[in-house]
């Protein structure tokens, strides 16, 4: 009789543990991040976006907000807290991504990717095709720079990019 009840308890535990991923709110996890959650040995660089600032959700200031909404559920590493948008950059274990996605203040979790500038829209932005129809192709131009300037904001600091 005791063996049967131990087996029943073990079966219930297995069912409960296997149901946890099914309870995750996958609508908050980017589609390209979801396949990476299957490998439990992964550490994944992510951006966690919030509905409101993490600091305002617990009323404990920035540190209190992070401790209350992110760090207490995450065994990963907090890399950066953004001030222009309610978001953080972190390195998380797949199970931590699922736990964070279940938080009510979390809006979306996506991969933190390296980005680089491309010139694929530059010709259209300066109306290059129209100039080309007049035979203007840049011949004889040494350097042309269009600079709109940029505000030196901490979120754009190179130490916040990985």
**pLDDT at position 55:** 55
User: 104: which 2 tokens?
Assistant: 């009510």
Residues 71, 73: Cα–Cα separation, whole Å: 5
| pLDDT over 70 percentage in the chain | 68
Q: State yes or no: pLDDT of 69 exceeds 60.
A: no
Q: Express each pLDDT in 110-122 by its tens digit.
A: 999 888 878 888 8
**pLDDT at position 26:** 82
Average pLDDT (132-159) is 80
Spell out the domains of the chain, with CATH numbers in brackets.
24-138 (3.30.70.80)
């Amino acid at each position: 009789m005791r063996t049967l009840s131990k087996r029943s308890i073990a079966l219930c535990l297995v069912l409960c543990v296997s149901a946890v991923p099914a309870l995750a709110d996958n609508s908050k996890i980017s589609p390209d991040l979801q396949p990476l959650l299957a490998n439990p040995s992964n550490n994944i660089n992510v951006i966690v976006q919030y509905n409101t600032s993490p600091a305002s959700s617990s009323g404990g200031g920035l540190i209190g907000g992070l401790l209350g909404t992110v760090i207490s559920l995450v065994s990963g590493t907090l890399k950066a807290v953004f001030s222009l948008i309610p978001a953080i950059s972190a390195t998380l274990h797949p199970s931590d991504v699922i736990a964070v996605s279940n938080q009510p203040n979390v809006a979306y979790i996506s991969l933190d990717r390296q980005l680089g500038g491309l010139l694929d829209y530059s010709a259209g932005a300066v109306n290059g095709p129209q100039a080309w129809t007049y035979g203007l192709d840049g011949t004889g131009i040494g350097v042309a720079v269009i600079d709109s300037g940029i505000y030196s904001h901490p979120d754009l600091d190179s130490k916040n990019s990985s």
